[in-house]
Amino acid sequence: MKTFQRILYGGDYNPNQWPREIWQEDMKMFRNAHINSATVNVFSWAKIQPSEEEYDFSELDDIIDMLSREEYDIVLATSTGAIPAWMAKRYPEVERTDYEGRHHKFGHRHNACPNSPVYQKYSAKLAGKLAKRYGSNPHIKCWHINNEYGGECYCENCEKAFRVWLKKKYGTLDALNQAWNMEFWGHTVYDWDEIVLPNVLGDGMENGRTAFAGISLDYKRFNSDSILANFIGEREAIRVFDKETPVTTNLMGTFKGLDYFKWAKEMDIVSWDNYPRYDTPWSETAMCHDLMRGLKDAPFMLMEQTPSQQNWQAYNSLKRPGQMRAQSYQTIAHGANTIQFFQLRRSVGACEKFHGAVIAHAGTENTRVFREVAQLGAELERLGDAVLDSRNEAQVGIVFDWDNYWALEYTSGPSIDLTYVRHIHEYYKYFYDRNIAVNMIPCDADFSQYKLIVAPVLYMVKDGMVEALETYVENGGTFVTTYMSGIVGQSDNVHLGGYPGPLRKLAGVWVEEIDALAPEQCNEVVMHNGTSCSCGLVCDLMHLEGAESLGEYGKDFYQGMPAVTRNSFGKGHVYYVGTHMEEQGISGILEQAAMDADVKSEISDGNGLEIVCRSAGEKKIYFVLNFTDQEKHIPAALLGKKDLLSGEDVTEETVLKKYDVFILQ
């Protein structure tokens, strides 16, 4: 497989939306911005296939010729993220039926029914034609299939395909009825054709929840698989003509709809689009990068970010001077080998005309954003391939699992506020704040690689996981889990015998009841070490079964019952956190767990800076970023190292202002 020889720097480029004079302008301006890469043909299906019988690549030929002449690294998209109008008119089945049961007309994008044979046929055919025509062009460095896959379809084709998927999974209706607990409300089905899709016309609820989580979970898995099959269909069509160029599609961080760990197995390289809100904590962005890197445990591409502004959020603030640069280096620090923008030239009409771009509507290089893009481009050019061979290593693994994500947010009770990503981030943040590297890992990761495994809200414990965890802890690993863990198996039926089900032995506790606290209510955890902190959301009422209590509830009828515990299991330890504690409480526990696990930050006094290490053998590259409002000095441990950006050694006098970055080796 081909690999990148330099950091790809560029982004989505739509010359097809512009007259040819502008193309020449673009080339000149991109050169001045040190842009070396362009992603083309993302939404051009209607242009390259104007009718069912006719393909016309003449304009794309010219675009690719131009970019090849200019030695661009081209990311070639397949254009299948938005279907052409003629297709929707002739084959209404290609459009989706939504959660409310409405069959859609032509419009929008990301709009194809994944189980439409027409869509399957024409998307793969187009990908194949593109690969045949351009696959041997050495400037094409990556295939970009579709765009930001997602969404759901509840049409008749999907319903039929769902039944086939279920038959394959369960074999018999008995097994299916049992898995979905269909005796409840007399839902038992006696014929595969009685199964309907769980949208709001079936067992889905108006609020997105469901009467039967078993059905809805299987639908989510099925839908993710269906869309993945579209990706694979195109990938295989490309592979007929091009075996060498990596194939990707742009993912979206913690996006809920698709099981990205499963997807990543089918992708040669992960790429993703990073669009933080104006108030997204930097720790959350870092976590998303770590998750995207974790999907394949390998460097990834940043396929999109805006140079400054978005258009689709509620408040589309400008990135402050230096912010885009700092955000880009944070991305590289966490494992990216490309920095790509959406978009290179701001569009003239439609809903993204206010979306930031390298070239603004003014059309000149004389803008703040252009200058910042050009400065970063020059720096990345100087950096050359210095980071490309390096990787991020971590001793801490945090479990992220899409089945858990879906299942937790489908449950009715105990609290509507039990959302998945928030809890993962709260535990991630402890490590982020201390510059302790984290790998985001799947449920079936090789735990033995890690000294500390943290699995917040591990609501669903799937077959095999508990054995793997027990072996891990027996051999000396440290494991941290929380409230709402160990409750159900993979079909969302409860692990009987008391919570936290299969984790009960490991944690050495039995949770008898789970109290839910409204936002205005709270309790308190009084820790044995003399500290105390506020807690809420849910409170596990638990009994010790071998574990020691680290702190008890301070009030209510369960005052004095353990809220946080630590169990010894084989050579290792297990922490069970029975309630949602405020940050300082979580920190206290993770600090103790990290001590048990002998996990330390490489730069123990980070001074409030974000410090991330990428390494290759003996070579260590430290990214030092200041996201605080204060000026900061370089931590002592890094003094004397050379900054790859300025070429100068850092000293005690070196100061980082807000958004300053050093890359030290």
Give me the residues that bind ligand GLA (CB under 6 A), please. Answer: 147-148, 273, 275, 304, 310, 312, 342, 352, 355
Minimum gap (Å) between residue 553 Cβ and ligand GLA:
45
* Contacts by residues 552-556 (CB-CB < 8 Å, ≥ 24 positions apart): 552/525, 552/526, 553/523, 553/524, 553/525, 553/526, 553/579, 554/523, 554/524, 554/525, 554/526, 555/523, 555/524, 556/515, 556/523
192 or 275: CB nearest ligand GLA: 275
Minimum gap (Å) between residue 67 Cβ and ligand GLA:
19
**Catalytic position from the list 152, 284, 304, 610:** 304
Helices 402-410 & 420-433, crossing angle to 10 degrees? 130
Strand-pairing partners, residue 11, are: 38, 341
> How far is the C-alpha of 470 from the C-alpha of 190, rounded, in Å?
40
355 or 495: CB nearest ligand GLA: 355
Q: Six-digit token pair at 613?
A: 């290490």
Give which of Zn ion, ligand GLA, none residue 147 binds (C-beta under 5 to 8 Å, depending on kind): ligand GLA
> How far is the C-alpha of 113 from the C-alpha of 514, rounded, in Å?
41
Give which of ligand GLA, Zn ion, none residue 158 binds (C-beta under 5 to 8 Å, depending on kind): Zn ion
Minimum gap (Å) between residue 236 Cβ and Zn ion:
21
> How far is the C-alpha of 122 from the C-alpha of 435, rounded, in Å?
48
DSSP state of 267: -
The footprint of Zn ion on residues 157-176 (CB under 5 A) is 157-158
Binding track, positions 92-131, relative to Zn ion; x by CB under 5 A: ---------------------x-x----------------
Give which of Zn ion, ligand GLA, none residue 184 binds (C-beta under 5 to 8 Å, depending on kind): none
Q: Which of 301, 346, 276, 327 is nearest to 77 (CA)?
A: 301
Q: How many CB atoms lie within 10 A of CB 620?
A: 15
Q: Six-digit token pair at 566?
A: 């630590």
| Closest residue by beta carbon to ligand GLA | 273
Minimum gap (Å) between residue 160 Cβ and Zn ion:
9
83 in contact with Zn ion (CB under 5 A): no
> How far is the C-alpha of 256 from the C-alpha of 627, rounded, in Å?
28
Look at strands 509-516 and 250-251 and give their pairing.
unpaired
Look at strands 661-664 and 336-341 and give their pairing.
unpaired
Residue whose pair of structure tokens reads 């720097």 in the numeric block:
9
Q: CA 515, 520, 525, 530: dihedral to nearest 10 degrees?
A: -170
Minimum gap (Å) between residue 95 Cβ and Zn ion:
9
Minimum gap (Å) between residue 109 Cβ and Zn ion:
16
Give which of Zn ion, ligand GLA, none residue 148 binds (C-beta under 5 to 8 Å, depending on kind): ligand GLA
Give which of Zn ion, ligand GLA, none residue 155 binds (C-beta under 5 to 8 Å, depending on kind): Zn ion
35 or 82: CB nearest ligand GLA: 82
> How far is the C-alpha of 22 from the C-alpha of 344, rounded, in Å?
12
Q: Report phi then psi at 588, rounded to 5.
A: -60, -40
Give which of Zn ion, ligand GLA, none residue 342 binds (C-beta under 5 to 8 Å, depending on kind): ligand GLA
Strand-pairing partners, residue 534, are: 524
Q: Is position 148 annotated as part of the catalytic site?
A: yes
151 or 606: CB nearest Zn ion: 151
Choice from 35, 82, 153, 561 touching Zn ion (CB under 5 A): 153
Q: Is position 618 annotated as part of the catalytic site?
A: no
Give which of Zn ion, ligand GLA, none residue 153 binds (C-beta under 5 to 8 Å, depending on kind): Zn ion
**Catalytic position from the list 93, 95, 148, 552:** 148
Minimum gap (Å) between residue 438 Cβ and Zn ion:
38
Give the dihedral sign, CA 41/46/49/50: negative
155 in contact with Zn ion (CB under 5 A): yes
Half-sphere exposure of 223 toward its Cβ, with a 13 Å CA cutoff?
28
Q: Which residues are catalytic?
A: 148, 304
Which residues of this protein are in contact with Zn ion, per CB under 5 A?
113, 115, 153, 155, 157-158
